[in-house]
Structure 1
Amino acid sequence: MRPIPQPAPWLRPSDPPAKAPAPPRALLAAVLTGLLTAWLLEGGLGVNLLICGAVAAVGAGLAARSAGRRVRPWTVVWSVLALAMLAVPALFDAGWPTLLSIVCALALASLALHGGRRWAGVLLALPGIVWQLGPGVLWARAGLRGLSLPGRAKVAPVLRAVLVAVVLLTVFGWLFASADAAMADVLGGLGPSIDPGEIPMRLALFVLGLITALGFAHIAAGPRRWDRTVVRPGRERGRVEWALPLVALNLMFGGFAVVQAVVVLGGRDSIMEKTGMSRSEYARQGFWQLMAVTVLTLVVVAVAKRWAPRTTEADHRLARILLGLLCLLALVVVASALGRMWYYVDASGLTRLRLWVLVVEVWLGVVLLMLITAGLVRSAAWLPRSVVLSGMIAAAVYGLMGPDAIVAEQNVARFERTGRIDLRNVRDLSVDAVPALDRLPGDQRTCALDLMRIELGDASGPWYRTSLAESRAREILVARPLPDGVLTAGNACDRAGLHESDYAERD
């Protein structure tokens, strides 16, 4: 026989406790999640994602309860934030914030079930669901094989009740729909009509929902304890070898801070005089480099902290002073980057990308403040979870504030103030932008909203995959319809100052 492969040495301390077989209630919740995923998620996202996520969360809770695990405060925090992320598709229609929210929700749910307070425990728990999908299926299979008769006696009545309910609702629903057209419309909106061509996709969605729910339940029944992962400190360096590069870097950061004080505090005329560039050119020329400087500073702090001298109290004091000063000067870089982007937005308008990098830069500034605070206090055990929490809150705020709506609002407000708008900044936004763009006059309104009208189409989808923003956009475009015809929209864009080559061709 071939020997059973053993896990890597660094992985063994985090081995989970022996798990009990999958409880029947958790298996039922996983099956229900799969059915809801197949039934609701085909064709679009809305409140359906929140419904499926809530049912999967119930299944994980049942598995955790059967394993004797207790709910802790941080578990509640991560879980509530994950469900808040899943509410984004119910409110807004933009694709990128929705994708970001789904990824963050999965990571937060994994962290909630794993737990963790050290850097290894928090960072390795975030993607933990990925390598629990296969073991979750095997765990469920073992639970089904070992299901005792009393367990089957509990499951069978529920399955029979569900089957009877489905039969009764199908028969009487068909009769009511045949008898009354209004009732037929109501029932048609409650659930999808299944086309035979959709069956493969719905089967794939069922499998996806099932294995995801089983993966979370498997974690809840006995998570891997990533906090026990052994992370050895780096080799301690001598004071001169370690401190000299940091002193030089601090001097460079300090020089940059002085230059910024001279240039920026002088205002617009100072920028023109000292650089020969306009405000927007000055902002565009350096923002991305300064953002890279901020990220690299965090990398330098992490590496320097690992190799810092730590034999005496004087060593610890030196590390806190140099690293704290570097973080403090990095805040000047963050402020400069934000100021440059503000100039850029004021001159050229807001876009999705500009808004996203503004949010990220603000979050990086918050992380730097946390690092400074951690250097001033004795214990920094709170830092790993606080950094992740701040990042997830930033992602949640970004999704829940409706970035496309914010972009449209800023560009319309700028148009109302200056009479200038770059329609390229707003034409490719999602329907979240319709309420703000509806305030534009004539040709600008027609050009800005034409692609969104085509995206909406004529018929609305079922309630469970229709966002609040989509419903509001339909109401606006019904109340104030756009002129028909592709040529009409193209002419409107030409009259509004958008050249034909700047907007997308459509069928």
Structure 2
Amino acid sequence: MKVPYSEYARRGFFELIAVSIISLLLLLAVEKYIVKKDENHARGFKIFSTALVIQVILIMASAFIRLTLYEEAYGFTILRFYSHAFIILLAAVFCLLLYKIYKDKRENAFAFRGFILIASFFVIMNFFNPEAFIARRNIERFSDTGNLDIFYLSHLSDDALPDMMKALDISNDDLRKSFARELYWRAQNSQSPYFSKWQSLNISRMRAEKILDSKIRELEGYKDYQQQDIDSEGR
């Protein structure tokens, strides 16, 4: 039976999560309750733990490739992006675990390094601007496949708006006009009292409003456009 891409990717990702958690807990428990009580087992444990970590990383690579195939088939989304990033984070955690086993066995030091790693991960994600990356990749993917999820693209956050504006230059006239319509109504909705509150103000929103205001006359011509060829991409 043919397995859909969506099931193939999801199953691989959740298998990875399950194996990673079990392996991490197993290695920590064995080191704490067995190896530290019997130094004769230390060398064998290091060999076993290294082999196990390598196997887990191979599973991570498999899950990473599955997600990549899924994205190539159906496009990029926030969830898929963070799934990729989470796999990389997991690999880094297991590298820290190996360092703990071989070099520094202090549990407090391992916990501190883990905290620094996770904090660094969130800082990097914040500066990386995932939604802008997703907008760029989906528009680039259009050049290869001719498919573009206009609805999803137009509903990315203000962080992505400068990059998503490039979709106004795509060759597919129907998708381009549909995207212009979505942007027009997005610009109109941004004028609502809810978005005018000072609590919702930020640099990205101010920049997005400036871009939309500069294009509003052009976009207004497509406000009532009806898409002719709706291409629903499976997920």
Q: TM-score range by the shorter chain?
A: 0.7 to 0.9
Q: Size of the alignment, in residue pairs? A: 222
The structure-2 alpha-carbon separation of the partners of 1:434 and 1:425, relative to structure 1 and needing over 3 Å to count, comes to: same
Residue by residue over 1:211-264, the C-alpha shift from the partner in whole angstroms, topping out at 9 and shown as x without a partner, is xxxxxxxxxxxxxxxxxxxxxxxxxxxxxxxxxxxxxxxxxxxxxxxxxxxxxx
What secondary structure does 1:439 align onto? helix
Equivalence for 2:134: 407
Q: Label 1:337 to 1:401 Cα distance change in 2 as closer, same or farther (>3 A).
A: same
Is the contact made by 1:415 and 1:421 (CA closer than 8 Å) also made in structure 2? yes
Are residues 1:480 and 2:207 paired?
no
The partner residue of 2:89 within 363, 371, 384 is 363
The answer to whether residue 10 in structure 2 is matched with residue 292 in structure 1 is no
Cα RMSD over matched residues? 3.0
Aligned with residue 427 of structure 1, among 138, 145, 154: 154
Change (3 A) 1:463 1:278: closer
2:53 alignment partner, one of 316, 327, 331: 327
Return the alpha-carbon distance in structure 2 between the equivalents of residues 448 and 340 of structure 1: 32
Q: Which protein has greater RCO, CA pairs closer than 8 Å, 6+ apart? A: 1
Per-residue deviation, 1:445: 2.4
Q: Among residues 329, 342, 346, which one is paired with 2:68 in the alignment?
A: 342
Verify the 8 A CA contact 2:177 2:222 in the aligned structure 1.
no
AA matched with 2:230: G
Please give the secondary structure, in 2, of the residue aligned with 1:495.
Answer: coil
Shift of 1:421: 0.9
CA distance in 2, matches of 1:301, 1:450: 55
Q: How big is the shift at 1:399?
A: 2.0
Deviation at 1:447, TM superposition (A): 4.7
Structure 1: which amino acid aligns with 2:16?
Answer: L
Change (3 A) 1:418 1:294: same
- The answer as to whether partners of 1:350 and 1:407 remain within 8 angstroms in 2 is yes
Contact kept? 1:408, 1:426, Cα under 8 Å: yes
Q: Which runs of 4+ in 1 moved over 6 A?
A: none
Looking at structure 2, the residues matched to 498 and 420 of structure 1 have their Cα atoms a distance apart, in angstroms, of 8
Confirm or deny: 8 A CA contact 1:290 1:337 kept in the other structure. yes
User: CA 1:292/1:470 → structure 2, altered by over 3 Å: closer, same or farther?
Assistant: same
Write the distance in 2 (CA, Å) between the matches of 1:294 and 1:440.
Answer: 39
Distance 2:184 2:121 in 1: 32
The amino acid that maps onto 1:407 is: I
CA contact (8 A) 1:408 1:437 kept: yes
What are the ranges of 5 or more consecutive residues in structure 2 without an aligned counterpart? Answer: 169-175
CA contact (8 A) 2:142 2:148 kept: yes
**Deviation of 1:283 (Å):** 3.1
Which residues in structure 2 correspond to 1:38-77 (within 5 Å)? none
Change (3 A) 1:402 1:452: farther
**Partner residue, 1:232:** none
Give the whole-Å Cα distance in 2 for the aligned partners of 1:401 and 1:475.
22
SS at structure 2 position matched to 1:350: coil
Q: For the structure 1 residues 408 and 478, does the alpha-carbon distance in structure 2 shift closer, same or farther, using more than 3 Å as the test?
A: same
Q: Give the residue type in structure 2 aligned to 1:369.
A: C
The equivalent residue for 2:172 is none
| Cα deviation, residue 484, structure 1 | 6.5
Equivalent in the alignment of 1:471: 206
Identity of aligned residues (%): 22
User: Is 2:154 the counterpart of 1:445?
Assistant: no
Change (3 A) 1:408 1:384: same
* 2:230 pairs with 1:497: yes
Could you tell me which amino acid in structure 1 is paired with residue 210 of structure 2? E
Q: Return the letter of the residue paired with 1:371.
A: L
- The 2-side partners of 1:431 and 1:302 are apart by 43
Q: Deviations over 1:253-296 (max 9, x none)?
A: xxxxxxxxxxxxxxxxxxxxxx8557666434422322332233
- The whole-number CA distance in structure 1 between the counterparts of 2:34 and 2:92 is 23
1:324-364 Cα distance to aligned partner (Å, 9 max, x none): 32122111111111111111111111111111121111101
Kindly indicate whether the alpha-carbon contact (under 8 Å) linking 2:35 and 2:45 is maintained by their aligned counterparts in 1: yes
Deviation at 1:378, TM superposition (A): 4.7
Mark the CA change 1:425 to 1:462 in structure 2 (over 3 Å): closer, same or farther: closer
Q: Give the Å deviation of 1:305.
A: 2.9
The aligned runs of 1:81-230 (5 Å cut-off) are none
Q: Does residue 385 in structure 1 map to residue 118 in structure 2? A: no
- Offset, 1:390: 0.8
Please give the per-residue CA displacement for 1:32-51, whole angstroms capped at 9, x wherever unaligned.
xxxxxxxxxxxxxxxxxxxx
| Contact 1:280/1:343, CA 8 A, preserved across alignment | no
SS in structure 1 at match of 2:166: coil
Residues 324 and 375 in structure 1, CA contact (< 8 A), matched pair in contact too: no
Residues 294 and 484 (structure 1 numbering): CA distance in 2 closer, same or farther, change over 3 Å? Answer: farther
Distance of 2:27 and 2:84 partners within structure 1: 22
SS of residue matched to 1:420: coil
Instruction: Measure how far apart 1:392 and its partner are.
Output: 0.9
Q: Distance in 2 between matches of 1:457 and 1:282?
A: 42
Residue 313 of structure 1, CA deviation: 2.1
- Describe the shift of the 1:304–1:443 C-alpha distance in structure 2 as closer, same or farther (beyond 3 A): farther
